[in-house]
């Protein structure tokens, strides 16, 4: 490999990072709010804004999917934080013990949890004992330094896995005898070997909501390792090790090692992330595996191939021939798996434009169209001529491949941005969650669930009981929803009995979001009516 | 006496407009231990529909009830046991009319009518409180239930469909 050529690659890579930084900016700007992540809080007890007569013995947080708590803190009215360490997980609910008596005033229950995709989510619930006071300040700002670090770590890990391990596969399986790009591939693997553990630390920091300065603490690393991203890092390290060994180890074992490395790339990606956490798992995880392994196959071969063609080596034609014969099914698989995952994640075409996740996907698709155009020109116009040995064509092909490399790096940047954007699938799950309220009076109590808990057409499900938890056989139940500050007349609908002991109101349309008052008029007997009411929050 | 004048005055000032739309009693106060003639005033139908039945629940402590028949309406009573035994003209009574139904008639929304019954207010009814007579007004395909009783401290005017009430005065 000539020095000039290496310099050119360095320049190309440098340019790539400039563009990647632009994409990072785009990705972060397009991300609306970190509170919108995948595991969404759907119910809190005490509810946000609640005023309690006395100290609750426990708190409970219910999420849209099972989570495990990372940090639970109660901030007292005077701003002193109290760590809450005793909690139990019950499916999607986290029940937290409150060990102490609370003084009067507004408290903040601050939570940070992680769900199956390995991405931490945080938020807080304000409640007051006795009467509300000024809420204590709780910092929950987006840590841009940490976000940049996570994103950079992710891009470097992609370079290590796709260009490094993928490159090792290309060199051992496709480019027998050609060693062009071997130094670059090894460098990419080493870059991955550094980025993988660092990413684990960043993940730990994100999980704990800690600043970059705490990277040295063992707790941060243990926390990172305990998340599903810990598996991604461990498998990545194994895959990177296998890739490296296939290049520097004994030649006899090179091919199986490189193949195992390639499989490791797919497995590492399938271990965590939005797409792997999506349902149905039997479909998404294998699809992520195929997608990851396919990218490594393709992207990994580009640089060694470009350099081989540029160096005009005799074996470059053989390399190019093998690559162009195998790439078609691999790309077909790559597109197939990618399409399946995109459909599962994005769900509706509108979400492509309306969500940060969708916009990143559009950027990625635009880059892909460009990449496929170049690849198609290479494959069908230049490859045959280059295989035959036409020097000028080989140069052109080599230049085209360096542009492809650039686009591939941009795609890595866009894909790494997904770390900060919940997929429309998760947003839809969160939006479909019901909103609930519980009413308890001496005469009667009721649970009202409004599904979905946002504006538009909804269904209300009502369970009523007597004030002492006995069965309440009502003659009629009427739901009255009112929002006096909205200028809308109360919405009054008789409930029907579906036959399972509950009452329901179908085809109810809630016009505006906010805090509504839900009242139940329960006709207990001909001359006896009980009216109970409670506030219920309707999401936009 | 002031104690009763004030709510009564307040009722006259504030209550009249609301009372127009509701089923109410013509006489809204009576001493305990006396005979009381209840006149239920029905000012309109249910949501514009003609009234076809009026049913009133007799509260505990109103004994020896006799409803007044009404031409064009079928009169029925439901008897039942009182919660305890009362003295009426020197005799112990433990059961009697618990509900009065006038049905089978038709009172168009644009007309007014009255439904009458008589009974004795037991002497041990709590003076100073209100006694409520929940009424169910049935119409063609609709029902209005004048059965809401204010909870302690609740403003009666805030109720949508309040039950007709009677202020209990001290025994004469």
Q: What is the CATH number of the domain that holds A523?
A: 2.60.40.1930
Query: For residues A516 and A493, is the Cβ–Cβ distance under 8 A?
Result: no
Average pLDDT over residues A435-458: 87
Determine whether the interchain pair B134/A523 forms a contact, defined as Cβ–Cβ distance below 8 Å: no
Please list every residue in chain B whose beta carbon sits closer than 8 Å to the beta carbon of residue A531.
148
Is the confidence at residue A532, as pLDDT, over 50? yes
Structure-block tokens of residue A84: 């809450």
The nearest alpha carbon in chain A to B147 belongs to A527
Please identify, among A427, A459, A479, the residue that sits at the C-terminal boundary of a domain. Answer: A427
Same domain, A345 and A465: no
- Residue carrying the six token digits 């609740």: B154
Tokens of residue A200, six digits: 């684990």
Q: Which two tokens stand for residue A192?
A: 């991955």
Contacts of A527 in chain B (CB under 8 A): 57, 134, 136, 145, 147
Residues A87 and A152 in one domain: no
Cα(A372)–Cα(A369) distance, integer angstroms: 5
Between A109 and A431, name the one with better pLDDT.
Answer: A109
Return the residue of A nearest to B57 by Cα.
A527
| Contact between A529 and B148 using a beta-carbon 8 Å cutoff | yes
Grade residue B110 by pLDDT with cuts at 50, 70 and 90: very high
Any residues with CB less than 8 A from the CB of B2 and at least 6 apart, and which? none
Contact status of A528 with chain B (Cβ, < 8 Å)? yes
- pLDDT tens digits along A88-105: 888 888 999 888 888 888
Q: Which residues pair with B46 in a beta bridge?
A: B49
- CB contact (8 A) between residue A523 and residue B55: no
Residue of A nearest to B135 (CA): A527
Q: Are residues A364 and A509 in the same domain?
A: no
Residues of A in contact with B136 (CB under 8 A): 526-527
Distance CA A188, CA A168 (A): 10
Long-range interactions of A381-386: CB distance < 8 A, separation 24+: A383/A320, A383/A324, A386/A309, A386/A317, A386/A320
B36 min Cα distance to partner chain A (Å): 22
Interface of B with A (CB under 8 A): 55, 57, 134, 136, 145, 147-148
What gap in Å lies between CA A111 and CA B26, rounded to an integer?
62
Kindly list the residues from chain B whose CB atom is less than 8 angstroms away from the CB atom of residue A475.
none
Asked whether residue A204 carries a pLDDT value surpassing 60, the answer given is yes
Answer whether B147 sits within 8 Å of A528, measured CB to CB: yes
> Of A386, A411, A427, at which residue does a domain stop?
A427
Q: Is the domain of A483 the same as that of A513?
A: yes
Residue of A nearest to B138 (CA): A526
Q: Which residues of B touch A523 (CB under 8 A)?
A: 145
Q: Which CATH number fits domain B2-169: 3.30.565.10, 3.50.50.60, 2.60.40.2230, 2.60.120.580?
A: 2.60.40.2230
Residues whose CB is less than 8 angstroms from the CB of residue A419 and which lie 6 or more positions away in sequence, other chains included: A119, A150, A151, A154
Q: Determine the distance in angstroms separating the CA of A526 from the nearest CA of chain B, rounded to an integer.
A: 8
Whose tokens are 């296998």? That residue is A242
Three-class secondary structure of residue A124 per DSSP? strand
Provide the CATH number for the domain around residue A102: 2.60.40.1220
Average pLDDT value for residue range A43-57: 82
The pLDDT mean for chain B works out to: 86
Q: Which of B151, B152, B158, B165 is the best mutation test for A, with the most CBs of A within 10 A?
A: B151
Using the beta-carbon criterion (under 8 Å), do B134 and A527 form an inter-chain contact?
yes
Q: What is the mean pLDDT of chain A?
A: 84
Q: Which residue of B has its CA nearest to A531?
A: B148
Residue B20 has pLDDT above 60, yes or no: no
Top-confidence residue, B49 or A137: B49
For residue B2, pLDDT beyond 50: no
Containing A203, the helix (H) or strand (E) segment is helix A182-208
On the question of pLDDT at B107 being above 60, the answer is: yes
Task: Give the pLDDT mean for B67-93.
Answer: 93
Q: A526–B148: do the CB atoms touch at under 8 Å?
A: no
- Asked if residue A460 has pLDDT above 90, the reply is yes
Give the integer Cα–Cα distance in Å for A167 and A185.
Answer: 6
User: Is A332 found in the same domain as A232?
Assistant: yes
Say yes or no to pLDDT of A34 above 80. no
For B91, the enclosing helix (H) or strand (E) is strand B91-107
pLDDT at B157: 79
For residue A480, the chain B residues in CB contact (below 8 A) are none
Beta carbons within 10 angstroms of residue A453's beta carbon: 22
Residue A389 pLDDT more than 90? no
Residue A472 within any structural domain of the chain: yes
pLDDT confidence of residue A399: 85
pLDDT class of B10 with cuts at 50, 70, 90: very low
Q: What percent of chain B has pLDDT over 70?
A: 88
Phi, psi of B128 (to 5 degrees): 90, -10
Percentage of residues of chain A with pLDDT beyond 90: 29
Residue contact B134–A528, C-beta within 8 A: yes
Once rounded to an integer, what is the mean pLDDT over residues A442-456? Answer: 88
| Confidence at residue B56, expressed as pLDDT on a 0 to 100 scale | 96
* A150 and A224 fall within a common domain: yes
Q: How many CB atoms lie within 10 A of CB B139?
A: 20
- State the Cα–Cα distance between residues A236 and A299, nearest whole angstrom: 17
Question: Are A482 and A385 found together in one domain?
Answer: no
| Average pLDDT, integer, range B152-171 | 87
In a domain, A533, yes or no: yes
How close B141 gets to chain A, by Cα (Å)?
A: 15
The answer as to whether A511 is a domain residue is: yes
- Measured between beta carbons, the chain B residues lying within 8 angstroms of A529 are 145, 147-148
**A382 and A289 share one domain:** yes
CB-based contact B147 A529, cutoff 8 Å: yes
In this structure, the dihedral spanned by the alpha carbons of residues A203, A207, A209 and A212, taken in order and rounded to 10 degrees, is: -20
Domain that holds residue A458: 434-538
Residues 312-351 of A with CB under 8 A from B: none
Q: If you average pLDDT over residues A381-399, what whole number do you get?
A: 79
Same domain assignment for residues A263 and A306: yes
**B-proximal residues of A, 507-526, CB under 8 Å:** 523, 526
Prior bond of A513 cis (ω within 30°): no
Residue/partner pairs of B16-22 with CB below 8 Å, 24 or more apart: B18/B157, B22/B146, B22/B161, B22/B162, B22/B164
Which residue, A102, A129, A156, sits at the end of a domain?
Answer: A129
Q: Flag if B147 and A531 touch (Cβ within 8 Å).
A: no
What tokens appear for B82 in the block?
A: 């009182």
What would the mean pLDDT of B86-104 be, rounded to a whole number? Answer: 92
pLDDT winner (highest mean) among A48-57, A413-422, B3-12 = A413-422
A105-157 confidence digits (pLDDT tens): 888 888 888 877 777 777 788 888 887 777 666 555 567 888 899 999 999 99
Q: Examine the pLDDT at A15 and tell me if it is beyond 80.
A: no
- The pLDDT score that the predictor gives to residue A27 is 43
CA distance B134 to chain A (A): 6
The closest of A443, A439, A483 to B149, measured between CA atoms, is A443
Residue pair A69/A94 in contact by the 8 Å Cβ criterion: yes
Tell me: do A274 and A331 sit in the same domain.
yes
Q: Is B141 exposed, middle or buried (0-12, 13-18, 19+ CB in 10 A)?
A: exposed
Phi, psi torsion values for B106, nearest 5 degrees: -150, 115
The whole-number pLDDT of residue A137 equals 61
Q: Is residue A109 part of a domain?
A: yes
CA A358, CA A233: separation in Å to the nearest integer?
A: 26
Percent share of chain A, pLDDT over 70: 91
Residue A138 covered by a domain? no
Q: Assess whether A401 and A334 both reside in one domain.
A: yes
CB-CB under 8 Å, A529 with B145: yes
- Minimum mean pLDDT range among A200-214, A359-373, B37-51: A200-214
Q: What is the DSSP letter of A252?
A: G
CA-angle at A56, arms to B153 and A516, nearest 5°? 55
Mutation target to probe the B interface, by most B beta carbons within 10 A, among A523, A527, A529, A532 is A527
Q: Are A125 and A84 in contact (CB under 8 A)?
A: no
Distance between B133 CA and the closest CA of chain A, angstroms: 9
Total count of domains within chain A: 3
Q: Is B29 left (phi over 0), alpha (psi -120 to 50) or beta?
A: beta
Does B148 sit within 8 Å of A531, measured CB to CB? yes
Is A135 part of any domain?
no
> At a CB cut-off of 8 Å and minimum separation 6, what does A93 contact?
A60, A61, A62, A63
| B100 to chain A, closest Cα gap in Å | 12
Q: Judge: A527–B147 Cβ closer than 8 Å, yes or no.
A: yes
A102 and A231 in a common domain:
no
Residue of chain B nearest A443, judged by CA positions: B151
Residue B30 contacts by C-beta under 8 Å, 6 or more apart in sequence? B36, B121, B166, B167, B168, B169
Asked if A427 and A355 count as a contact pair (C-beta separation under 8 A), the reply is yes
Residue A529, min C-alpha distance to chain B (Å): 7
How many residue pairs from chains A and B have C-beta atoms closer than 8 A?
Answer: 16
Of the residues B53, B134, B136, the best mutation for testing chain A's interface (the one with the most A CB atoms within 10 Å of its CB) is B134
- pLDDT tens for A471-525 read 888 889 999 998 878 777 788 899 999 888 899 999 888 888 888 899 999 998 8
Mean of pLDDT values over A249-270: 91
- Which pLDDT score is estimated for A464? 92
Rounded mean pLDDT, B16-26: 68
Is the pTM of the predicted complex or chain greater than 0.80? no
DSSP classification of residue A333: H
Q: According to the model, what pLDDT value does residue A385 have?
A: 77
Is the sign of the CA dihedral A383, A385, A390, A396 positive or negative?
negative
3-state helix, strand, coil in chain B (%, to 5): 15, 50, 35
Region of poorest pLDDT, from A288-302, B33-47, B151-165 = B151-165
Residue in B with minimal Cα distance to A530: B148
> Does A24 fall in a domain?
yes
């Amino acid at each position: 490999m000539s020095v000039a050529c290496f310099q050119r690659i360095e320049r190309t890579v440098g340019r790539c990072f400039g563009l990647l930084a632009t994409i990072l900016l785009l990705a972060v700007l397009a991300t609306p709010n970190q509170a919108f992540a995948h595991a969404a809080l759907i119910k809190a007890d005490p509810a946000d804004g609640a005023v309690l007569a006395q100290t609750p013995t426990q708190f409970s947080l219910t999420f849209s999917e099972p989570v495990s708590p990372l940090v639970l803190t109660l901030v007292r009215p005077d701003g002193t934080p109290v760590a809450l360490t005793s909690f139990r997980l019950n499916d999607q609910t986290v029940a937290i013990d409150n060990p102490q008596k609370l003084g009067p005033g507004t408290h903040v229950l601050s939570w940070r949890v992680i769900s199956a995709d390995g991405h931490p989510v945080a938020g807080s619930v304000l409640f007051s004992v006795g009467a509300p006071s000024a809420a204590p300040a709780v910092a929950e700002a987006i840590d841009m330094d940490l976000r940049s670090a996570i994103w950079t770590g992710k891009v470097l890990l992609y370079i290590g896995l796709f260009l490094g391990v993928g490159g090792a596969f290309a060199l051992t399986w496709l480019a027998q005898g050609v060693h062009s790009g071997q130094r670059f591939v090894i460098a990419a693997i080493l870059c991955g070997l550094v980025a993988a553990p660092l990413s684990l630390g960043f993940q730990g920091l994100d999980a704990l909501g800690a600043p970059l300065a705490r990277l040295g603490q063992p707790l941060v690393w243990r926390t990172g390792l305990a998340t599903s991203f810990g598996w991604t890092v461990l498998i990545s390290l194994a895959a990177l090790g296998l890739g490296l060994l296939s290049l520097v180890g004994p030649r006899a074992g090179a091919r199986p090692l490189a193949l195992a490395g390639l499989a490791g790339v797919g497995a590492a990606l399938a271990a965590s992330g939005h797409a792997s956490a999506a349902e149905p798992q039997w479909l998404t995880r294998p699809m992520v595996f195929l997608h990851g392994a396919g990218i490594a196959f393709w992207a990994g071969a580009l640089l060694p191939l470009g350099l081989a063609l540029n160096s005009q080596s005799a074996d470059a034609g053989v390399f190019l021939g093998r690559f162009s014969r195998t790439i078609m099914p691999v790309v077909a698989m790559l597109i197939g798996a990618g399409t399946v995952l995109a459909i599962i994640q994005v769900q509706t075409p509108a979400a492509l434009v309306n969500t940060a996740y969708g916009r990143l996907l559009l950027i990625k698709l635009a880059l892909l169209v460009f990449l496929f155009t170049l690849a198609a020109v290479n494959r069908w116009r230049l490859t045959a001529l280059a295989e035959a040995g036409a020097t000028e064509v080989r140069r052109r092909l080599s230049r085209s491949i360096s542009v492809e490399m650039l686009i591939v790096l941009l795609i890595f940047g866009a894909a790494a941005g997904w770390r900060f954007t919940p997929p429309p699938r998760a947003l839809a799950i969160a939006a479909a969650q019901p909103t609930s309220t519980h009413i308890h009076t001496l005469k009667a109590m009721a649970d009202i669930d409004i599904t979905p808990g946002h504006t538009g057409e909804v269904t209300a499900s009502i369970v009523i009981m007597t004030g002492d938890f006995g069965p309440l056989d009502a003659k009629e139940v009427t739901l009255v929803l009112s929002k006096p500050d909205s200028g809308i007349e109360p919405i009054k609908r008789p409930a029907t009995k579906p036959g399972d002991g509950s009452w329901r109101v179908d085809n109810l349309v809630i016009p505006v979001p906010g805090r509504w008052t839900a009242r139940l008029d329960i006709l207990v007997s001909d001359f006896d009516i009980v009216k109970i009411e409670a506030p219920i929050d309707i999401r936009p | 006496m002031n104690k009763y004048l004030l709510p009564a005055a307040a009722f006259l000032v504030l209550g009249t407009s609301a009372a127009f739309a509701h089923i109410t009693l013509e006489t809204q106060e009576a001493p305990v231990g006396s005979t009381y003639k209840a006149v239920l005033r029905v000012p309109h139908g249910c949501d514009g529909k003609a009234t076809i039945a009026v049913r009133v629940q007799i509260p505990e402590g109103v004994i020896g009830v006799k409803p007044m028949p009404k031409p064009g309406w079928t009169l029925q009573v439901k008897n039942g046991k009182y919660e305890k035994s009362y003295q009426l003209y020197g005799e112990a009574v433990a059961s009697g009319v618990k509900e009065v139904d006038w049905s089978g008639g038709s009172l168009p929304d644009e007309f007014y009518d009255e439904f009458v019954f008589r009974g004795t207010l037991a002497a041990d009814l709590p003076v100073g409180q209100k006694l409520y007579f929940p009424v169910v007004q049935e119409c063609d395909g609709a029902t209005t239930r004048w059965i809401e009783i204010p909870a302690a401290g609740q403003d009666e005017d805030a109720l949508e469909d309040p039950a007709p009430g009677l202020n209990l005065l001290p025994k004469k």
